[in-house]
C-alpha cells in the first residue's frame, strides 16, 4: 500500500475505532476507462464501527467522507464504501 493509503487506514482506525476495516486499491481496474485520472485512486472501503450504531447509511457515509475530504481533493478519484455498525 502507498503511504497515503496507510494514512487513511490510520485515520479511520483512530477516529472510528472499527471492528473491521478493509481498504482495497481498485485503481488497476479503471486504468483504461474514460475519465481515469492518473495518480488518483479508486478505493473500496469496508468499515464496521460502533459509532455507526443508530445512524442511517447516509449518516455513516458522511462520517467517513468527512474524514477523507483532504484525500478526495488530492489522491482519491472514487470510493466504493460499505459501512455497518459493529456486531456485538
* DSSP code of residue 2: -
At residue 67, does pLDDT exceed 90? yes
- Name the pairing type of β-strands 76-84 and 41-48: parallel
**pLDDT (average), residues 16-33:** 79
* Full domain range(s) for residue 21: 3-34+41-51+59-84
Distance CA 52, CA 40 (A): 28
Strand partners, 16: none
Lookup: cell for 15: 477516529
pLDDT band at 87, cuts 50/70/90? confident
Is residue 6 scored above 70 in pLDDT?
Answer: yes
Rounded to the nearest angstrom, the gap between the alpha carbon of residue 8 and the centroid of all alpha carbons in its chain is 8
Number of domains present in the structure of the chain: 1
- Measured in whole angstroms, the distance separating CA 37 from the mean position of its chain's CA atoms is 18
Of 12-16, 24-28, 76-80, which range is least confident?
Answer: 24-28
Return the CATH number at 67: 3.30.300.90
pLDDT above 50 (res 75):
yes
Amino acid at each position: 500500500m502507498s503511504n497515503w493509503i496507510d494514512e487513511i487506514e490510520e485515520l479511520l482506525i483512530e477516529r472510528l475505532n472499527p471492528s473491521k476495516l478493509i481498504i482495497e486499491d481498485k485503481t488497476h481496474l479503471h486504468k483504461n476507462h474514460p475519465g481515469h485520472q492518473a495518480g488518483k485512486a479508486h478505493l473500496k472501503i469496508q468499515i464496521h464501527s460502533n459509532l455507526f450504531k443508530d445512524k442511517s447509511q447516509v449518516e455513516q457515509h458522511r462520517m467517513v467522507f468527512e474524514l477523507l475530504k483532504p484525500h478526495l481533493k488530492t489522491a482519491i478519484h472514487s470510493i466504493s464504501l460499505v459501512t455497518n455498525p459493529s456486531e456485538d
